[in-house]
A and B are shown apart, each in its own frame.
Chain A
Amino acid sequence: MANLCAPAFLPRRFVLRGLACLAFAISVAPAMAQFRVEISGVGATQVPVVVARFRDEDKATQQVSSIIRADLERSGLFRNIDAPGVLDELAQPQMADWRARAADALLGGSVTRLADGRYDVRAKLWDVVKGSEIGAQNATVHPNDLRLAAHRVADYVHEKLTGEKGVFSTRIAYVAKAGKANFLLRVADSDGYDPSGKPGGEGVLNSSEPIISPTWSPDGKELAYVSFEDQKAVVYAQDMASGRRRVVANFRGSNSAPAWSPDGQTMALTLSREGGSQIYLVGRNGGTPRRLTTSSAIDTEPCFAPDGRTLYFVSDRGGSPQVYRMPAAGGAADRVTFTGSYNISPAISPDGRTMAFISRQGNTFRLHTLDLQSGAVQALTDTSDDESPSFAPNGRLIIYATRAAGRDVLMTTTLDGKIKARLASTTPDVREPVWGPYGR
């Protein structure tokens, strides 16, 4: 594994550009990316990078270099510098020329169609400042994975230039509402596209009744969700590739709020089978539930800490909904949130240090973070209807739902709230976002 602490590369203009980027906003052309990126605040820095056109990419079904460029731009951490012509991984670039264009890094490559229909994608990254090669990436992929291959190259660039693992090759799931009785559970690349390059992602479930609370299995192969297609809340798990699904919980009353354990073997969920909404554990294929909470209050929205030992959840046992935590095997709960009278929807960062949640202040519902060590609470947005926060697997971004101009939209934000991107969906209303894991 790469060393995530020390960047392989320290951009020369990193600090200098900080001030220049104050209150800077860029609009990525709609044809390039579905996310509109907004950057605000002091300290936003961007690495100037050239992603040249790859040799023979115009003969392929996807424009690999433009996918990479859009990824880098959307992260808010990079600034693309235009370059004429094509540059492949075998080139001997004249670094002085690229330095003259004020680039810190240069990426070139090629896309070659093989006899069996697959594509060979090659890329090479250079440090323009030092005038040396940083490294290369090669992959042979199915045509439908060309975009994935491009996202992986973008992840490689991200990791080499910032020291942080990228999340461009991960996926997101969300629910789109296309009409009063048309609900679509969709999966998309982290840029909002499906593998064919169409915006809007791919359909997982099409229903005339609501769908809520999608959640990825830790291996990224399945989605569990709550569907109301039987006129009540039932928890299903569905294999992405085959479309086969199974009922995880369909007991008397409501079955909801599924959360996979980090090992993927069990699921915490909320059942009302014994009256009241309480938290239970079931196996990944269902079976007899084991009750975890016994309160006369509402206990819901279970969420495992990354180590699998602690379960965070929402309860109104103290008179108002607050986040609590308890041992995942069961036991006494202690309260986690204290500010405000309505704190719901906990999500724990992959390093276990930060909790994202929704807090009501007056009539506004806003995304907040809580530093679980210091107890410091921070508001990340100035919108008023935030919902459903979910961490990117590198812990650097949170995706959430909110309302803008009368529509339900999806946003991503950095943990300091300074860089936000909005998913411009093809359907009017999109909700219930959840970020998938690495390892696709």
Chain B
Amino acid sequence: MKLIRIAHSSLLVVAASALVAGCSSVKLDDTKPPVVSKDIKDSNAGNAGATTGNAAQSQVTPVDATKNRTASDSNLPRVVYFDFDSFVVKDEFRPTIDANAKALAIDRKKKLAVEGHTDERGGSEYNLALGQKRAEAVVKSLTLLGADDKQIEAVSFGKERPAVQGSDETAWAKNRRAELVNR
């Protein structure tokens, strides 16, 4: 898993360096093993200015970005739940915040992503912003308890990755959450 992530970030570096080099776009094909990403980039760089020739006007070329999700490797408590329309980290989750903040304070090289989530009601973008607000509230609690802001990134999935399926308050309550994920 770790290997895949590292390989993938190197892919991004490749993409970024290509951007700096004046190549405005790079085709990313993540279905191929990451080790060959350099070849993909190289072969594409030569085509950067290629036209579509006599292809149909309707032509669409797909990008494949499927990959495996990183698994959490820690036994620390990882989830903070929120009340409806709320961003307050409740007292019952103080031990979760405390334990994770301590782990970050002990090992300054340790990195964490805090992923905010909402229930399914409402629009995807507004929910993304609500999830971000929840994630940032958790990050603030962690830094107050000794973690360094640079160790943590607050991100949001909005309503896009529910923990449980369902359209009732039981499901919604489980989905209004922030997950602490090792990076």
Contacts and interface: CB of A to CB of B under 8 A. Distances in A.
Interface residues of A, number: 70
Interface stretch (A5-13, A97-105, A206-214, A415-423): A206-214
Interface string A177-211: 00001100001010000110000001111111110
B133 A298 contact: yes
B66 A207 contact: yes
Contacts of A276: 132-133, 136
Interface stretch (A23-31, A141-149, A372-380): A141-149
A321 B126 CA distance: 8
Interface in A292-351: 298, 300-301, 314, 321, 342, 344-345
Given A204-B62, A210-B157, A253-B153, A298 B126 contact: yes
A36 interface: no
Contacts of A241: 52, 55, 59-61
A277 interface: yes
Interface residues of B, number: 56
B155 A231 contact: yes
Interface string A41-75: 00000000000000000000000000000000000
Contact of B58 (A145, A203, A226, A272): A145
B61 A205 contact: no
B2 interface: no
A208 B63 CA distance: 12
Interface stretch (B92-100, B102-110, B116-124): B116-124
Contacts of B25: 239, 244-246
Nearest 5 CB-CB pairings of A with B: A243-B61, A144-B56, A210-B160, A277-B129, A203-B62
Given A181-B69, A208-B66, A246-B26, 17 more contacts: A142-B55, A148-B57, A208-B68, A229-B65, A231-B69, A231-B113, A241-B60, A241-B61, A244-B26, A244-B48, A245-B26, A247-B12, A256-B129, A285-B24, A301-B123, A321-B126, A344-B122
